[in-house]
Amino acid sequence: MELLISADGNSRCVYSEAIDLSVLGKIIIQRGSHVEPDQEGKWTADLSPVNGPQLGPFANRSEALKAETDWLREHWLVLPS
């Protein structure tokens, strides 16, 4: 799990249960995307909750989840410039 901690003490991460985040203090969990099937059974990752693109379609849900996580790590889990 990658955990980004800014100078003001706020942090962000792509949520997993790898560690108990509550030990860091008060936590607020917000959705970063929506991974959903379309009418043809293909999967998309909609990253609009973090002002990102829609990725896909993908044949499998696991592919959409990987693309979602990869995009979040590369574009959202970074310090502001």
With bands split at pLDDT 50, 70 and 90, how would you rate the model's confidence at 8? confident
pTM to 2 decimal places: 0.84
With bands split at pLDDT 50, 70 and 90, how would you rate the model's confidence at 80? confident
pLDDT digits over 34-58, tens only?
999 999 999 999 999 999 999 999 9
CB 35 within 8 A of CB 45: yes
Q: Which residues partner with 55 through β-bridges?
A: 45
Percent of the chain at pLDDT above 90? Answer: 69
Structure tokens given for 43: 């999967």
DSSP letter for each residue of 25-53: S--------EEEE-TTS-EEEE-GGGT--
